[in-house]
Amino acid sequence: MITAPSNDPGQTTSGGRGNRAMPTGIWILGLVSMFMDISSELVHSLLPVFMTTVLGASMMTIGMLEGIAEATASVTKVFSGAFSDYLGKRKIPVVLGYGLSALTKLIFPLATAIGWVLAARFTDRIGKGIRDAPRDALIVELVTEKSRGAAYGLRQSLDSAGAFAGPLLALIFMALFANNIKAVLWVAVIPACIAVTLLVLGVHEPDTREKSTGERNRLTLADAGRLSHRYWLVVALGSVLTLARFSDAFLVLRAQNLGLTPGFVPLIMIVMNVVYALFSYPAGRAADRLHPRLLLIPGTAMLMVSDIVLAFAETPLVALAGAELWGVHMALTQGLLSKLIADTAPDELRGTAFGIFNLISGGALLISSMIAGALWSISGASATFMAGALFAAFAAVGLLFYPSKT
């Protein structure tokens, strides 16, 4: 049986070590993310190939579908984050969101037309939108201020472990099921159910309502005006980085474009997420000690180099090297951005802050994915990734002006 964490953020899973170890609740949230990502990435590593080879979708259709799906999640995050602020409770929307995403895993293997996939992706992303902002706000409430970067890094590391385990399972089951994609998609239902069970039984949020000294969120647009200019600077930085980094589906399509058979295409997601998982926790610990610019600039440079490598790749092996660099970029930037949002938002608006951040980033992802799909259809894969490198270069220049004091 899983032991519930103490409501004291300083409580750890090992005695006598103070705040250096993570509370049990952070580990469980990380495991929940891991199992759901096993499920989701198993699906996502095969879905682009499924849509093109089985359902006959075009690259433009895939770009639009991915962008719309992610933008849907981002819009939902605003409402779920604000509502969790209003309630003063995080777990209820988190459970609802994970449960909805788990249910959608039943739809993908049943799909007979692109409309089914669109409906499933749309619903799955609504579930993600409902859960993500309250979950990120809950993480802040489970740890001390000096451990936020490490907490986000640990959750992201476990999440990424699931993200490479999912494609690895896809690879194994594609071999076992003789490349029957629909049969493999059924496997994704199992880890999704495990994730929801762990969340329901193992996570207990602390009661922070009575500790809050700020003004209560009234679910009005005026609340967004209470967010600081430092917060909006972080939002702007995250949005530019998202414009430079379109949907992971294009990594999968690039691997297929360079000659990997459908059974081995998940390798590119495995490689990317192994690197992401290995570097996320050390990067999170570094984020608690270093100025953000010291991580964001190298992280953006990694994305730029990754795009260039993928643009000029002529073999699957070179594409895998590009995916490794993509993973380093993700590790250096994603947990840090979450920490910066937590640091710059007031306690009573933290869910709203994460929701707005994800809404604007989702809009940027919609634009970047549609541009990527159009460029691929018109000019090919190389033009798509070179455009990403150009956006990354712009982002790197912008980071030079990030204030020296945070």
Q: Which of 1, 251, 32 is nearest to 132 (CA)?
A: 32
The stretch 69-78 carries a mean pLDDT of 71
Give the Cα separation of 399 and 406 in Å (integer): 13
Alpha helices in 245-346 (DSSP H): 249-257, 267-287, 293-312, 316-344
**pLDDT over 70 (residue 271):** yes
- Considering only CA atoms, which of 166, 404, 143, 163 is closest in space to residue 284? 143
Give 261 or 97, the one with higher predicted confidence: 97
User: Which of 25-29, 82-86, 146-150 comes out lowest in average pLDDT?
Assistant: 82-86
Angle between helices 249-257 and 381-399 (to 10 degrees): 140
The pLDDT of 326-341, averaged and rounded, is 90
The percent of residues in the chain predicted with pLDDT above 70, rounded, is 84
State the Cα–Cα distance between residues 151 and 294, nearest whole angstrom: 19
Q: How far apart are CA 31 and CA 14, in angstroms?
A: 18
Average model confidence (pLDDT) across the chain: 81
CA distance 305 to 78: 33
Query: In this structure, is residue 137 part of a structural domain?
Result: yes
- Averaged over 82-102, what is the pLDDT? 87
Distance in angstroms (rounded) separating the CA atoms of residues 80 and 205: 16
The model's confidence at residue 67, banded by pLDDT at 50, 70 and 90, is: low
Q: Using the predicted structure, report yes or no on whether residue 217 has a pLDDT greater than 60.
A: no
Highest mean pLDDT among 98-102, 161-165, 213-217: 98-102
CA distance 280 to 157: 5
**Is 122 within a domain?**
yes
- For the residues of 182-249, what is the DSSP string, one character each? HHHHHHTHHHHHHHHHHHHHH------GGG--SPPP-SSGGGGGGS-HHHHHHHHHHHHHHHHS--TH
For the chain, what's the residue count? 406
pLDDT at 4: 38
pLDDT category at 301 given cuts 50, 70, 90 is very high
pLDDT at 6 exceeding the cut of 80? no
**Predicted pLDDT at 405:** 52
Which residue would you say has higher pLDDT here, 20 or 41? 41
Query: What is the reported pLDDT for 246?
Result: 77
302 burial level (CB within 10 Å; 0-12, 13-18, 19+): buried
Higher-pLDDT residue of 71, 36: 36
The pLDDT value recorded for residue 34 is: 92
Phi and psi (nearest 5°) for 58?
-90, 165
- Whether 79 is covered by a domain: the verdict is yes
Q: Which residues contact 153 (CB under 8 A, 6 or more apart)?
A: 280, 281, 282, 283, 284, 285, 287, 335
Q: Is the residue at 2 inside a domain?
A: no
pLDDT for res 191: 95
Look at residue 19 and tell me whether its pLDDT is greater than 50. Answer: no
> What radius of gyration, in Å, describes the C-alpha atoms of the chain?
20
Confidence label for 211 from pLDDT (cuts 50, 70 and 90): very low
Per residue in 362-377, pLDDT tens? 778 778 878 888 888 8
Residue 254 within any structural domain of the chain = yes
| Structural domain boundaries enclosing 114 | 22-204+226-399
The answer to the question of residue 405 being in a domain is no
pLDDT given at position 2? 35
Q: What is the mean pLDDT of residues 116-125?
A: 82
Residue 306 has pLDDT above 80, yes or no: yes
3-state secondary structure of 179: coil
> Could you tell me if residue 106 is inside a domain?
yes
Angstrom CA distances, 254 to 52, 270, 312, 358, stand at 13, 14, 11, 26
Distance separating alpha carbons of residues 13 and 27, to the nearest angstrom: 9
- Residue 284 sits in a domain of what CATH number? 1.20.1250.20
In a domain, 331, yes or no: yes
Half-sphere exposure of 201 (CA within 13 A, CB side): 10
Q: How does pLDDT run across 137-163, given as a tens digit for each residue?
A: 888 888 888 888 888 888 888 988 887
Confidence of residue 80 (pLDDT cuts 50, 70, 90): confident
Measured between alpha carbons, how far is 262 from 162 in angstroms, rounded to an integer?
Answer: 21
CA atoms 99, 29, 167, 271: torsion sign: positive
pLDDT, residue 324, reads 93
Q: What is the mean pLDDT of residues 294-323?
A: 91
Task: State percent of the chain over pLDDT 90.
Answer: 18
Across 51-55, 99-103, 191-195, 243-247, least confident range: 51-55
Q: How many domains does the chain have?
A: 1
pLDDT of residue 325: 94
